[in-house]
Structure 1
Amino acid sequence: MVCIPCIVIPVLLWVYKRFLEPIIYPLISPIMNKFWTKKAVQETGMNDQKSNGTCKPERNNEVTANGSTIAADKKTD
């Protein structure tokens, strides 16, 4: 047996996305743009290293030109 919120919540979300959001979004979007003017994702991390996009830095600070992983910690037989 399925609980009532497991049925009601998806149905309400579908009704909102399908019918209410196209009406409400144009009204609230100018207000939201005033508060959220920054971009959501910003580049952080390697401040001292510049990347030209050809090399990927690995976790152990080893860089490979073709993007393959250098497994220095694996045991060999």
Structure 2
Amino acid sequence: MVCIPCIVIPVLLWVYKKFLEPYIYPVIAPFIKRVWPKKAVEETTAAKRVQFESNGIANGVGAKKSTEISDKKAD
């Protein structure tokens, strides 16, 4: 048996996204832009990109790998 919130919450989210958001979002968008500026998001992604390019290592794995293709069958 599925609990009531597991059914009601997705339905309410769908109703909001489909019918209410087109009318509500233009009203609240200016307030959201003041609270959460886009520059902050762009600066963090740019900083991560520069750090990756400078040291050449991603997640502890070397960026340069061998490009040789080995033949499994040697007749």
TM-score scaled to structure 2, two decimals? 0.60
Structure with greater helix share of residues:
2
Quick check: 1:26 aligned with 2:31? no
Q: Which has the higher contact order (CA 8 A, sep 6+)?
A: 1
Let me know the Cα RMSD of the aligned residues: 2.8
**Identity percentage over the alignment?**
47
Count of residue pairs the alignment pairs up:
60
Distance 2:63 2:12 in 1: 50
Which consecutive aligned stretches of 4+ in structure 1 deviate over 4 angstroms post-superposition? Answer: none
Report deviation, 1:14: 0.3
Distance 2:63 2:17 in 1: 45
Aligned to 1:8: 8
TM-score scaled to structure 1, two decimals? 0.59
Structure 1 alignment gaps of length 5 or more: 70-77
